[in-house]
Amino acid sequence: MPQTLTFALAQLNLWVGDIDGNVDKIIQAAVRARDDLSADLVACPELSLIGYPPDDLLLRTALPAAIGAGVERLLREVRGITLIVGLPEYADGLLYNAAFVIRDGAIVARCRKQLLPNYGVFDEKRHFTAGRETPVFELKGYRIGLCVCEDVWGPGPAAQAKAADADVLININASPFEQNKARERLEVLRARTAETGLPILYVNMVGGQDDLVFDGGSIAVNGDGSVGFSAPDFVEDLYPVRFENGLLKGECAPPASDEARVYAALVRATRDYVDRNGFPGALLGLSGGIDSALVAAIAADALGPERVWAVSMPSRYTADMSNDDARIEAEALGIRYSTIAIEAAYEAFEGLLAPSFKGRKPDLTEENLQSRSRGMLLMALSNKFGNVVLTTGNKSEMAVGYATLYGDMCGGFAPIKDVYKTLVYQLAIYRNSLAPPDRPVIPHRVITREPSAELRYEQKDSDSLPPYEVLDPILQAYVEDSRSIPEIVAMGFNEAAVRKVAGLVRRSEYKRRQAPPGPKVTHRAFGRERRYPLTAQYGDL
């Protein structure tokens, strides 16, 4: 038996539905692993042939033939190295989330995912049938176990590999990013190694896919729980890992801060959404506030400054400092910047509505007219030039409905939709830390001034909402942890504030249902992961 095996982990950015393109990328990875890394095996992510999550694309009648053609290409063109590839397997009238082991024109092993997640963002039982066993195959005298993603989150599949005398277990993944997910994965892998003594190779994909973003973070954990290798987050590449004397060894990427990981996730998600949907660039309203400032920075980093267009749309209520700060940031980022005042549009709408509004005092309606005037202008520019509009609302605002439907919610992608306001500030400070101290991309005044929608004179967010340092923990308990109102009050929060926040969350459900997609970064995001009825009455639940 040889003393050393070389594995190559293909941390790939795959495009859902692009079978031909994904096969090209897999073949390129296999050739490079063989020729440049002298690898014995290359492992690709879960469902790498079709991308993840394919959702109801799996129901297309032409898909089985397309998947079959992709497998045939791999059988023909990948030689001199063992390849693990994830794919939907159609067999005997059933569909499996599978992995094939391909070597020199033959399928030498097949793995069918046993533990099908059906929680959070996952809905795999809608399409897939569960497998029953963990295959173990031979590679140069070693026995290699293989399982798919969720299979490593339970003890059974790893125990099966151990019982079959595996020397190492490979786990292929499509595991979306969220805060603290890397730490949680490591704990799970260490639990499996503690139970079995098996070293585990974990390979994950990277890239944005609608409201999910995948961080990679591929890792090798040895039988004693030590980390033998770790890949950098959000970097598409091929990573060699040696298996020698029962240990997995490779380079370990330096750890990143939570802010760095989240910011990288938002950049990657924005880049892939804009590029893969064929938009020439992005367009956003730049108000001089913290949210649009952060989105502008994300867009510039994701697409390059030349593909970002920021538009200032001041009204009679916009402070001079807001106009100044918007211009300063656009110049610091090097993005295109325009000013279109909304006063004429706002007055025109007021005039059109005056007969209908006769006898009624100005209220929130007039505030929302300003926001909707801005939304109309941005969408007109989008229609004319093709750039996608990026909305700039954060999770705190989306949760309580502090946003205008068809106004500032208007757009095609929402980069900070799942970012609480308190984290928005942390990310802005982080982004400035990447710039020279004397040249921040987000003006310090934007970070330190009290937030305001500037839709009426001297308006402050705190006029309508609890302070964000109070609001965000309440939202985390109510939205992410599904705690009841009495439970949250028992945590030490003011009952009136909790009831107000919970009521706002419930009343805003219909708004969020119409919001554009944005990348998940928290434990529970609005949209795919949190599906509540629009019409319901559920009291203190």
* pLDDT given at position 528: 87
The average confidence (pLDDT) of the chain is 94
* pLDDT given at position 318: 82
Q: Tell me the C-alpha distance between 235 and 215, whole Å.
A: 8
User: Which whole-number Å values give the CA distances from 371 to 174, 366, 414, in the listed order?
Assistant: 38, 9, 16
260 phi, psi to nearest 5 deg:
-65, -40
Residue 361 is a catalytic residue: no
* Residue 20 confidence class, pLDDT cut points 50, 70, 90: very high
Q: Which of 44, 46, 329, 454 is catalytic?
A: 46
Q: Is the pLDDT of residue 187 over 60?
A: yes
Q: Which of 149, 178, 395, 397 is catalytic?
A: 149
397: nearest Cα among 511, 262, 529, 258: 511
> Full-prediction pTM beyond 0.85?
yes
Tell me the per-residue pLDDT of 342-375, one tens digit each, with 9 for 90 and over: 999 999 999 999 999 999 999 999 999 999 999 9
Tell me the per-residue pLDDT of 507-541, one tens digit each, with 9 for 90 and over: 999 999 999 999 999 999 998 888 888 888 887 88
* Number of alpha helices (DSSP H) and beta strands (DSSP E) in the chain: 16, 19
Domain with CATH 3.60.110.10 in the chain: 4-255
What are the beta bridge partners of residue 337? 310
Contact 387, 281 (CB under 8 A): yes
Tell me the per-residue pLDDT of 417-465, one tens digit each, with 9 for 90 and over: 999 999 999 999 999 999 998 899 999 999 998 887 777 777 787 788 8
Q: Which of 44, 89, 111, 113 is catalytic?
A: 113
Q: Tell me the C-alpha distance between 243 and 246, whole Å.
A: 6
Other beta carbons within 10 angstroms of residue 88's beta carbon come to 19
∠ CA(188), CA(84), CA(104), 5° rounding?
Answer: 155
Class of CATH domain 260-460? alpha beta
Residue 72 is a catalytic residue: no
pLDDT average, residue stretch 491-503: 95
* pLDDT given at position 346: 92
* Residue 413 confidence class, pLDDT cut points 50, 70, 90: very high
* Residue 323 confidence class, pLDDT cut points 50, 70, 90: confident
* pLDDT given at position 2: 62
Domain with CATH 3.40.50.620 in the chain: 260-460
Q: Is the pLDDT of residue 1 over 70?
A: no
User: Which whole-number Å values give the CA distances from 150 to 158, 180, 352, 472, 518, in the listed order?
Assistant: 11, 17, 57, 31, 24
Class of CATH domain 4-255? alpha beta
* Residue 77 confidence class, pLDDT cut points 50, 70, 90: very high
Residue 252 is a catalytic residue: no
